[in-house]
């Protein structure tokens, strides 16, 4: 009599366990990929600015680079230069011009989050819609009302190019959930580009 264990067909429970292991391995590979996220929105130090700071920290806690371009530190700039592969000889000139530095950070970011709490961010939005439409995520609180005129042609044209760009949220935790989903999609896209590029 043989001491070998007879072959048993794989059960659905075993299949699910195997899929979970494969998913974790894929997720582990994804975790090694870092996104750079530009966090745009109100600059006035108020409740909306605190929310902007909050979602920036939330993204950083997920292991990604999150920047408020107009408040970038020397350390953050260096990190961006490395990440964007900007040549050493160009870095000093860029650091002397805050507008150029902000522009480079925003355009080269993997995701651009714009917290809309008034008309100012819509003006910012107009600057980046054409340059990076698929990276832009507009964050609107569901209780805020913006007329068709205020939303303007930028949002409408952006929605035509990128239907997922407009995100409405109920509160801070809901906003973080939406941002997490955006990051997940951004990671998949970055990995896909990395595999194809």
Is pLDDT at 195 greater than 60 in this prediction?
no
Q: What is the mean pLDDT of residues 139-153?
A: 64
Q: Who has greater pLDDT, 142 or 77? A: 77
Q: What is the overall mean pLDDT for the chain? A: 77
Q: 124 and 114 in contact (C-beta within 8 Å)? A: yes
How many whole angstroms separate alpha carbon 23 and alpha carbon 102? Answer: 37
pLDDT, position 127: 64
Beta carbons within 10 angstroms of residue 176's beta carbon = 17
Tens-digit pLDDT profile for residues 111-130: 999 887 765 555 566 666 66
Torsion angle, alpha carbons of 40, 44, 46, 48, to 10: -20
Q: What is the mean pLDDT of residues 80-103?
A: 88
Is pLDDT at 142 greater than 80 in this prediction?
no
> What predicted TM-score, i.e. pTM, was given to this entire model?
0.75
Q: 42 and 121 in contact (C-beta within 8 Å)? A: yes
């Amino acid at each position: 009599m043989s001491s070998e264990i007879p072959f048993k067909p794989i059960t659905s429970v075993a299949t699910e366990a195997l899929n979970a292991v494969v998913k974790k391995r894929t997720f582990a590979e994804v975790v090694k990929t870092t996104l750079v996220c530009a966090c745009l929105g109100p600059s006035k130090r108020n409740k909306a600015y605190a929310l902007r700071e909050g979602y920036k920290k939330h993204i950083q806690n997920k292991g990604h680079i999150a920047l408020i371009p107009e408040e970038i530190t020397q350390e953050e700039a260096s990190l961006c230069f490395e990440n964007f592969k900007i040549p050493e000889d160009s870095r000093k000139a860029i650091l002397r011009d805050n507008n150029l530095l902000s522009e480079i950070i925003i355009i080269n970011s993997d995701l651009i989050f714009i917290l809309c709490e008034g008309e100012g961010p819509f003006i910012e939005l107009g600057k980046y819609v054409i340059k990076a439409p698929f990276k832009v995520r507009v964050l609107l609180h569901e209780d805020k009302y913006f007329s068709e005129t205020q939303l303007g042609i930028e949002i409408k044209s952006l929605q035509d190019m990128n239907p997922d760009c407009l995100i409405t949220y109920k509160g801070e935790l809901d906003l973080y959930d939406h941002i997490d989903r955006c990051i997940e999609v951004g990671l998949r896209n970055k990995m896909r580009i990395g595999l194809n590029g």
